[in-house]
């Protein structure tokens, strides 16, 4: 419940995109296709004052429905694989290894060690 409150609060301040877990599990797109759509959306938010958020947080009822329909393990794994794919794709686009980027001040785009 606390995570939902945090997500809702951040959504009011920054661009936000909810992951369509059911869409992925229904195979409306491949993982790579959906990742590409999300990465494109992230690039479109490059001028935002606050870092954009991609999230898979949902209500308890919706989570239960997804897990009942597709299984808890496949639901968890598809989200983890998507997050990994997004990270890998955005880092590859920067041509900079994750471990060398350091922490970022996302509001200003400054790197710090």
Q: What is the pTM of this model?
A: 0.76
Residue 95: the pLDDT is: 56
Q: What is the mean pLDDT of residues 66-93?
A: 93
| Residue 90: pLDDT band with limits 50, 70, 90 | confident
DSSP 29: S
Q: What is the mean pLDDT of residues 65-74?
A: 96
| Residue 73: pLDDT band with limits 50, 70, 90 | very high
Backbone dihedral region for residue 71 (phi beyond 0: left; psi -120 to 50: alpha; all else: beta): left
Distances (CA, A) of 51 to 5, 10, 32, 35, 61: 18, 10, 23, 18, 28
Tell me the sheet residues that pair with 111.
Answer: 104
Mean of all residue pLDDT scores within the chain:
85
């Amino acid at each position: 419940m606390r995570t939902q409150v945090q997500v809702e609060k951040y959504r009011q301040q920054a661009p936000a995109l909810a992951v369509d877990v059911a869409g992925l599990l229904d195979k409306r797109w491949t993982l790579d296709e959906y990742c590409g759509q999300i990465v494109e959306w992230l690039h479109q938010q490059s001028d935002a004052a606050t870092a954009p958020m991609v999230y898979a947080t949902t209500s308890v009822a919706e989570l239960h429905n997804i897990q009942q329909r597709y299984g808890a393990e496949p639901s968890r794994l598809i989200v983890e694989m998507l997050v990994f794919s997004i990270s890998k794709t955005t880092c590859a686009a920067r041509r900079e290894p994750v471990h060398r980027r350091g922490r970022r001040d996302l509001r200003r785009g400054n790197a710090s060690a």
